[in-house]
Amino acid sequence: MKKCIWILAVQLLCGIQAFAQQTDAEKLFVKLRQKIDAIKDYEANVKMKIDIAYMRVPPLNGKLYFKAPDKMKLERNGGISILPKRSTNMALGNLMPNQSATVIDAGTETINGKQLRVIKVVPNTEQGDIVLTKIWIDEQRVLAMRTETTTRENGTIKMDLEFGRYEKQGLPDKIIFYIDTKEFKIPKGVTMDYDGATKTDMEKAASKKPKKGRIQIEYMDYTINKGLPDAIFAENKK
């Protein structure tokens, strides 16, 4: 009888501990989302590098505009490239669920000498593109240092972030995307403006085994929450 009571007590204690960990993970995710959601809009001078096997794209310099939740435009020096909504939206908030979600504590992992809390976030609805997001969080600064998002439309997208001057606002100095080029939908503006590969080249690349691509964005500065008008994101019709 005593043995049964002891086993029951241990099980209850483990259950309470697991619940507490789950609650801590949820609280951390809420804090992270609150920091991200506080940014309603920004414009930033950026340097952008696209490294994809079947595209020859020179470095891009220009201005990136963002307005929550999902408007984004790259105004390149010498021309305009529109980043369509259904391509990878290069904003952290769009690579993790923002609706009701289940948050799972996945322990810790050390990256670049820093111990990070790892959480998995699963939307509680099948609506939307995101299936699962895994986030590596600096708990002290409440910053996402890495994300890995599984989507229905664009495969799995991995992102590494570096912070510095704007870390209090949760805005990175640099982002590197690692993408599956077979699944990824290349932004129209980039492929049209830099037609380094022929249509045949792109079809051949798409028919091969998935390859990895890389997009790097360096943010030189930000102007934050100034109330950008929707007209900035309207695509010019020629």
Burial degree of 101 (CB within 10 A; 0-12, 13-18, 19+): buried
Question: Is residue 147 a contact partner of residue 159, using CB atoms and an 8 Å limit?
Answer: yes
pTM of the model: 0.76
Structural domains in the chain, sorted by start: 2-227 (2.50.20)
Tokens of residue 19, six digits: 């619940």
DSSP alpha helices (H): ranges in the chain?
2-37, 188-193, 199-207
Which helix (H) or strand (E) element contains residue 151? strand 143-151
- Residue reference for tokens 């792109």: 202
Burial degree of 130 (CB within 10 A; 0-12, 13-18, 19+): buried
Could you give the strand order of the β-sheet that contains 212-224, starting from the edge strand earlier in sequence?
81-82, 71-76, 60-67, 41-51, 212-224, 174-180, 156-162, 143-151, 130-138, 114-123, 101-111
Per DSSP, what are the bridge partners of residue 47?
61, 218
Q: What is the pLDDT along the chain (238 residues), one digit of tens a residue?
A: 544 444 444 444 444 444 444 469 999 999 999 999 999 999 999 998 888 776 677 888 999 999 998 888 888 876 555 454 444 456 777 777 766 789 999 999 999 999 999 999 999 888 788 899 999 999 999 999 999 999 887 788 899 999 999 999 999 999 998 877 665 555 444 443 444 445 455 455 555 555 678 889 999 999 999 999 999 988 655 4
pLDDT at 87: 44
Q: What angle do CA 35, 38, 40 make, to 5 degrees?
A: 140
